[in-house]
Homo-oligomer: A and B are copies of this chain.
Amino acid sequence: MKVFLECIPCFLKQALEAVRLATLDETLQEKALRVVLQEIGKISWNTSPPHIGWKVHRLVKQITGNSDPYALLKEQSNETALRLYPGLETRVKEAVDPFEMAVRLALAGNMIDFGARPGEKVDIEKEIEEVMHAPLDKRALAGFKNAVVRANRVLFLGDNAGEIVFDKLLIQQIGPEKITYAVKAKPIINDATLEDAKVVGLTELVPVIDNGSDYPGTVLTACSQTFLDIYKRADIVVAKGQGNYETLNDVDKPIVFLLKVKCPVIARDVKKQVGDLVIYLHNVYI
């Protein structure tokens, strides 16, 4: 998906959030914001939002000298999600349709996203209750379930720290034996890395690899050969979050995108409203 003009102010909001997390030095904060402004003014916009997001966050890291501005937030997100996890497991176990419940909770976890909604604080417990009653496309849900039941090899593309805890519920439903789970190779915004996967116990459940890149999405041309081999062999890809949608919505591969719509640009693209839960079947036929 290409960058729209609406994305431009949002990149600046992201940069502002990142510089403030990266340093308390106001001179450095201003310097970084200025460089971001001038860089966005120059570079091509004929690319996906995560391409520009990557450049923005790289500049912030370089100028502030902080290689992981979201470290503390990621740690807190993991802790919060782990604290909630036992209760969520019970919910899934006791649900009329445990698969649907796990999907709903995996979508609730997608709200822990500092890239798409910079500066906004998410009350994840409130989010969980809302997601329980939010409309969900039952036809797409059935298509998703059929596709993972039929599949032997599922590649699960994770998104953010904290959120990856919620993904464990869905992994249990799909069958951990089928799944390889991919995270980012280096810190980018609050996207999960191998370290997060270890902290939350995901590595004990499924093989976790990094994708060899640190785009806040999945830019195939930047991914490692190891990742690409697994990607190619996968019967289906489960991809969480807007960043993965923005970078993979035009590839020739069966993908189930799971995301909560966080901005009007994505809403327009998937023909939903901001706040909607989306199970988007791409090259997956019911």
A9 within 8 A of B: yes
A135 CA / B37 CA spacing, docked (Å)? 39
Tell me how many residues of A have a C-beta within 8 Å of chain B.
24
- B29 and A5 contact, CB distance less than 8 A: yes
A281 CA / B137 CA spacing, docked (Å)? 55
A35-60 CB mask vs B (1 if < 8 Å, else 0) is 11110111001000000000000000
- A16 and B8 contact, CB distance less than 8 A: yes
Number of copies: 2
Q: A35-B41, A38-B42, A45-B30 are in contact. Are A5 and B16 (CB under 8 A)?
A: yes
- A5 and B30 contact, CB distance less than 8 A: yes
A6 within 8 A of B: yes
A45 CA / B37 CA spacing, docked (Å)? 13
A30 CA / B7 CA spacing, docked (Å)? 12
State how many angstroms separate the Cβ of A22 from the closest Cβ of chain B: 13
A121 within 8 A of B: no
A195 CA / B38 CA spacing, docked (Å)? 38
State how many angstroms separate the Cβ of A160 from the closest Cβ of chain B: 21
A34 within 8 A of B: yes
A contact residues vs B (CB 8 Å cutoff): 5-6, 8-10, 12-13, 15-16, 19-20, 26, 29-30, 33-38, 40-42, 45
